[in-house]
Structure 1
Amino acid sequence: MATVNHFLDTRKTDNGFGIIKLRVTHNREQKDYSTKLKIPTTLYDKIKKQGSEIDGRVKDLDLINYHNLLYGTKNNNTIYSDGFIVRAKSIIKKLGNNFNFDTFKHELDNYGKDIILVDERTDILKALIRKSDNLKSRGQITHGTNFGLVAKSFSRFVEYLQNVDPFRLKPKKNFILRFEHIDSDFLNDWSLWMKKYGKSSQKKDGLATPASETTIGIYSRTLKIIFNDAIASKIIDKEIYPFGKNEFIPPAGKNIKKALSKSDIDSIKIYQSENGTLEQRSLDLWLFSYFGNGMNFTDILHLKWSNISDNKKVIVFQRQKTKGNPTIISIKINERMWDIINRWGNERKDIDSYIFPMLNDKLSIIERKAIVHQTVKLTNKYMNKIGEKMGIKSDLNTYHARHSFATQMMRNNAPLQMIKEKLGHKRLSTTESYLGSFEEEAENEYIDKL
């Protein structure tokens, strides 16, 4: 246990005066802390003679006041409820086996001060949760979930730091992660931690597993949104922005090719499934996505009969993902798509009914999300089995239908702007990331012409 005493430092004061300092000893190491109390040496000598308890017969007011400042007083009517020695001993007792000089100094400097309530908006974990809840309430479940996942990631990282480097984040108890804590060094260390422990285990053993570069990139870009929002709202100064040149650069991840070759797509088109089976439904929904501008499954399952117009020739719909910033897409309905609608469509065909019967208006947003997720999961399962039967090496997940549509458009020399509009993207750069490379044969053909 650390101990504390006091002494008079006369080195930098006028003759006959000194500054009372505390001397704390811990594990044979000593450190001095100033009380900033300047006092005549004669008066200090009298205080030392009194010890921790002042004689009640003493009438010297200066002696009483300085003694109270140093040792405190038992008289509740005085302003000196406790003194520097009492404070130091109280802090030492509080820290116990966790005592260290840095924490002691922090506690001593802030002893007795009223807690200043910092603007809650600077709490970055709360900012992430608020953003998550806001997006989810607007139906943007996946986007909103990402902000919640980033909050959990940083919460776990802070816990990790407090265990391996307890002096880095202060105070250890009731620490609040704020925007100013997150600089490029913090993010680089977090990125390294993510590569080792970033993925929280769902197994009973509770052991964390490495997160991919792609996940780190997604989380980083999600965090950038929070910083940009805070700067725009003037909650923080742009000078503490931790991203960009000479700062932290989010990893891009690997852009794995997800588009299928034309021959694989042609094989899928002619594959025959047994009528009425989940395999047939999975194949049909996958092809509906492919023919339907690469429409994702959330949009497919949210289609209503009112979305079909122009004498049943066109589907016009608004992407669920961009409800806050509407993106209207028009799709020409081909014969194969009508076959799929007739086979799996809702028997009710009034304008307020869903084309496919998986969803209904009585379901909550969360329930709809779960049904879409389960439909995608089943479709992926059966489509990958179809791929195995046909000897297709690539996965046949629903995402591949969307990427394959975009890439086939490119192979057919469609303008990039047209592909962007068909996919419902806001930026051309997003569309470019969707476009896979040409088949190896086509690439070789170009090379042979060199």
Structure 2
Amino acid sequence: MAYNISIYHETRRKKENDKFSVKIRVYNKQGNIKKVRFFTTDIDLTIEEFDAIWINPENKKLRGSNKEIELKLKAIEKRANDEAKSMSVFNFSTFESKLFRKSSDKNNVKYHFNLVIDKKNKDDKIGTAESYKYTLNSLGDFSKNKKKRSIDKLSFSEITVDWLKEYEKYMISKSKSYTTVGIYTRTLRVVFNNAIENNDIVADIYPFGKNKYKIPRTKKVKKALSSIQLKVLFNSKVSNEKEEEAKDFWFFSYACNGMNLKDMALLEYSDIQNNKFTYYRAKTFDKSAEKIKITIYLTDFTKSILKKYGNKNKKGLVFNIVSHKEDSETQYKKIKNFNRYINDHIKRIAKANDLPSDCSFYWARHSFATNSIRKGASMEFVSEALNHSDLNVTKNYFAGFEDEAKEEFANSLLDF
């Protein structure tokens, strides 16, 4: 055992009540590194009281408050040892969070969701933290309205296969898609796995997997404009400067291999060198050990967008979407708002030109992938351009050939 836990009386510093703090002393040794940390118990005792209650309690028959303090210290010491034993690898940070939580938190769904949310926020994964919040709110809505159970008290042991099936049915009845149900239940599964990994719950109650609850899987239809539609959108007349800006940023993404809006917002002038620019994709940067830079070669069109919307001093961030001085949460909100701004105006242009009414900024990425393949690019080439880790992810981007192409192919089958 690399750690040792004991009750410790801090007699070096007397408090205003003329007593000394009683603490938990934790000694941990990992390899050649030895560390000692102290954690408060919120109990203060004089030297005489500590000696009578803890050092030599057998010499006296403890009664009243002294007996209560002894039992409390024994309970604290036992809990500290139990929490340390439950950790596969001991570390002070995890030990502290386990020690000072409520005993009911081990099996509490909201508590474990909040652990993930807090960590994602600390790691500047604001969007991911938001997705966990959405899932928690959805589970809370179902638990409150259908199970008459507050999310604050919902435990993992209550979430059975039948519970999840009823949740799925409830979501569909509220006009939510199976895609949404899949996203939320996969997020819940991650939280379940975290709780099991931390030894806070037993694996026996895990409701997912073979012969248990099956998370619904749907083939997500990626939306893309055809080459004809792209030409219509590119040549469309705009009604105002806002529509012009929305269209310019949409086609900048398209012309830059479907570049994500966050990556555009964080693009720096120092990234632009010799008729090209390079960047790391923010969405996948922390998900892989190998960091791969994406290279985008500039064209007359993309150069014109950089000149039109780029900062005039040509230093720092290229576009005025976010600022380096802002924290991650502020940047996240600004990028989200700018994305909404582009979508609002792209939809107006699309409607005015008889294009799909649900056309959005993200269609630029799908359109790049689909039209690259239609023009003869290999799936491997497009996968690399999109910075996908798996070729199957790229295949999902392929929207399929237009009906005209399919009809032409069918008619050619007997043309020997």
Q: TM-score, normalised by structure 2?
A: 0.69
What is the rounded CA distance, in whole Å, between the counterparts of 2:152 and 2:232 in structure 1? Answer: 58
Q: Which residue of 2 aligns with 1:25?
A: none
Contact 1:345 1:355 in 2 (8 A): yes
Q: Which residue of 2 aligns with 1:289?
A: 253
1:127 and 2:112 aligned: yes
Q: Which residue of 2 aligns with 1:368?
A: 331
Q: Which residue of 2 aligns with 1:186?
A: 163
What is the rounded CA distance, in whole Å, between the counterparts of 1:148 and 1:130 in structure 2? Answer: 11
1:337 and 2:302 aligned: yes
What is the rounded CA distance, in whole Å, between the counterparts of 2:151 and 2:346 in structure 1? Answer: 50
Contact 2:144 2:150 in 1 (8 A): no
Note the alpha carbon deviations across 1:378-398, whole angstroms, 9 max, x for none: 211221222122222353210
Quickly say closer, same or farther: Cα 1:122–1:381, change in 2 above 3 A. same
* 1:37-186 superposed matches below 5 A: 118=103, 120-163=105-148, 176-186=153-163
Shift of 1:175: 7.0
- CA RMSD across the alignment: 2.5
Q: Which residue of 2 aligns with 1:96?
A: none
* 1:11-26 superposed matches below 5 A: none
Quickly say closer, same or farther: Cα 1:390–1:156, change in 2 above 3 A. closer
Q: Secondary structure at the match of 1:324?
A: helix
Gaps of at least 5 residues in structure 1 are: 1-75, 77-115, 164-171, 198-209
User: 2:296 is matched by which residue type in structure 1?
Assistant: I
**In terms of mean alpha carbon deviation, does 181-190 or 415-424 score higher?**
415-424
Residue identity (%) = 29
Q: Which residue of 2 aligns with 1:261?
A: 226
Shift of 1:327: 5.0
User: 2:221 is matched by which residue type in structure 1?
Assistant: I
What is the rounded CA distance, in whole Å, between the counterparts of 1:297 and 1:117 in structure 2? Answer: 42
Contact 1:297 1:376 in 2 (8 A): yes
Q: TM-score, normalised by structure 1?
A: 0.64
Shift of 1:161: 3.7
What is the rounded CA distance, in whole Å, between the counterparts of 1:394 and 1:256 in structure 2? Answer: 16
Quickly say closer, same or farther: Cα 1:241–1:447, change in 2 above 3 A. farther
Contact 1:301 1:356 in 2 (8 A): yes
Note the alpha carbon deviations across 1:315-362, whole angstroms, 9 max, x for none: 211222234235532212211101011011111212xx1111121112
Shift of 1:244: 2.5
Quickly say closer, same or farther: Cα 1:263–1:128, change in 2 above 3 A. same
What is the rounded CA distance, in whole Å, between the counterparts of 2:171 and 2:112 in structure 1? Answer: 21
Shift of 1:290: 0.4
Contact 1:303 1:356 in 2 (8 A): yes
Quickly say closer, same or farther: Cα 1:394–1:154, change in 2 above 3 A. closer
Q: Which residue of 2 aligns with 1:279?
A: 243
1:318 aligned to 275, 280, 283, which one? 280
Q: Secondary structure at the match of 2:283?
A: helix
What is the rounded CA distance, in whole Å, between the counterparts of 2:208 and 2:405 in structure 1? Answer: 40
Q: Secondary structure at the match of 1:417?
A: helix
Q: Which residue of 1 aligns with 2:207?
A: 242
Contact 2:351 2:357 in 1 (8 A): no
Quickly say closer, same or farther: Cα 1:345–1:247, change in 2 above 3 A. same
What is the rounded CA distance, in whole Å, between the counterparts of 2:140 and 2:222 in structure 1? Answer: 33
Contact 1:315 1:333 in 2 (8 A): yes
Contact 2:110 2:152 in 1 (8 A): no
Runs of 4+ in 1 over 4 A off after TM superposition: 172-175
Contact 1:255 1:433 in 2 (8 A): yes
Q: Which residue of 2 aligns with 1:379?
A: 342
What is the rounded CA distance, in whole Å, between the counterparts of 2:250 and 2:127 in structure 1? Answer: 21
Contact 1:291 1:337 in 2 (8 A): yes
Aligned length: 311
Q: Which residue of 1 aligns with 2:186?
A: 221
Larger Rg: 1
Highest RCO, 1 vs 2 (Cα 8 Å, sep ≥ 6): 2
User: 2:130 is matched by which residue type in structure 1?
Assistant: T
User: 1:347 is matched by which residue type in structure 2?
Assistant: K
Contact 1:292 1:331 in 2 (8 A): yes
Shift of 1:254: 5.5
User: 2:209 is matched by which residue type in structure 1?
Assistant: G
1:356 aligned to 305, 310, 319, which one? 319
Gaps of at least 5 residues in structure 2 are: 1-63, 65-100
Quickly say closer, same or farther: Cα 1:412–1:237, change in 2 above 3 A. farther
User: 1:139 is matched by which residue type in structure 2?
Assistant: D
* 1:382-421 superposed matches below 5 A: 382-421=345-384
Contact 1:128 1:150 in 2 (8 A): no
Shift of 1:119: 6.3
Quickly say closer, same or farther: Cα 1:119–1:399, change in 2 above 3 A. same
Shift of 1:128: 1.3
Q: Secondary structure at the match of 1:331?
A: strand
User: 1:322 is matched by which residue type in structure 2?
Assistant: T
What is the rounded CA distance, in whole Å, between the counterparts of 2:226 and 2:193 in structure 1? Answer: 40
Shift of 1:438: 0.9
Contact 2:139 2:151 in 1 (8 A): no
Quickly say closer, same or farther: Cα 1:295–1:288, change in 2 above 3 A. same
Contact 2:267 2:317 in 1 (8 A): yes
What is the rounded CA distance, in whole Å, between the counterparts of 1:267 and 1:289 in structure 2? Answer: 17
Q: Secondary structure at the match of 1:398?
A: coil
